Amino acid sequence: MNGVIVNFRGSKRRKTGNQMIIEIEGTDSKDKANKLVGKTVSWLAPGKKKTTIVGKISAAHGNKGVVRALFERGLPGQSLGTKVLIE
């Protein structure tokens, strides 16, 4: 299953680097998003090293099927708008 990183989770003044908002294909309601809680998310970094940063879906975010994911370490700003793999 694929998803797209939409934004960092944060408030007006503070952004959390390891928490991301992810939009998943085919998920359009809060009920569908809650079924994905606990699944693993992985982001493949571009470049020569091809490192993978792994995270976990923690909760639904809003009512339109978007989820929150906590990653093991912070993601760079270039990850916004890129695809992630959900297993």
Write out pLDDT tens, residues 54-80: 999 999 999 999 999 999 999 999 999
Query: How many Å apart are CA 84 and CA 43, to the nearest integer?
Result: 5
Residue 58: count of CB within 10 angstroms of its CB: 15
This prediction's pTM: 0.90
Would you state the structure tokens that stand for residue 71, as one six-digit string? Answer: 């990653």
State the Cα–Cα distance between residues 41 and 65, nearest whole angstrom: 16
Strand partners, 48: none
Q: How far apart are CA 22 and CA 51, in angstroms?
A: 20
Number of domains in the chain: 1
> What is the C-alpha to C-alpha distance for residues 16 and 67, in angstroms, rounded to an integer?
15
Give 16's pLDDT tier (boundaries 50, 70, 90): confident
Domain range holding 71? 2-86
The CATH number for 63's domain is: 2.40.10.190
